[in-house]
Amino acid sequence: MRTLKYFVHSSVDGHIEGPNGEFDWPELGPELSAYSFVLGDSVDTFLYGRKVWEMMAGFWPHAESMSDDPHDLRFAPIWRRTPKIVFSRTLASAEHAARVIGGDLAEQVGALKAEPGGDLLLTGGSELAGALTALGLIDEYHVVVHPVLLGGGKPLFVEQKDRTALELVESRPLDGRTVLLRYRRA
């Protein structure tokens, strides 16, 4: 059974975007960059909700012409060659080696997890992560807390109806400014 991992950046006050949708606050130092590559080595499929997909698809296909950051330059070819799945009720198709899945999340993600292969990595977004959490489908949470209070915005998780018990597997500072919190579903 494949593991579904959720990797997300959060502010100290629990937001993944600022009040106006800002995502200009995460700082990616060398240790956090290295961690993201180690995490990425364990997966063979990237998962996105529609909103995060649109952000990713607007940058990674042409990252080399938009950035000279060493992390971006190293990750761009990985992103382009890795299969991607976009969960959306509004998109009919997607480019860049992606396929769109709509419909029953429990059925679709359960089938993906049952397929042979490497793990699955859901990046960012709170709506899809919240829905998958409510269904008990996320196995690991990799939350990187950044030293900023955003004062509002999109919460790390949409409101949940039920409690979800998690087991702390790892916590450590990265680059002297962020903290990685890694949890496993208990």
Helices then strands (H, E): number in the chain? Answer: 6, 8
Q: What is the mean pLDDT of the chain?
A: 94
- Specify the CATH number of the domain 4-185: 3.40.430.10
Q: In the structure, what pLDDT confidence band is assigned to residue 19 with cuts at 50, 70 and 90? A: very high
Mean pLDDT over residues 98-105, rounded? 90
pLDDT, tens digit, 9 for 90 and up, residues 130-175? 999 999 999 999 999 999 999 999 999 887 788 999 999 999 999 9
Contact 156, 15 (CB under 8 A): yes
Read off the pTM.
0.94
- Helix 70-81 to helix 30-41 angle, to the nearest 10 degrees? 10
Spell out the residues 6+ positions from residue 67 whose beta carbon is closer than 8 angstroms to its own: 73
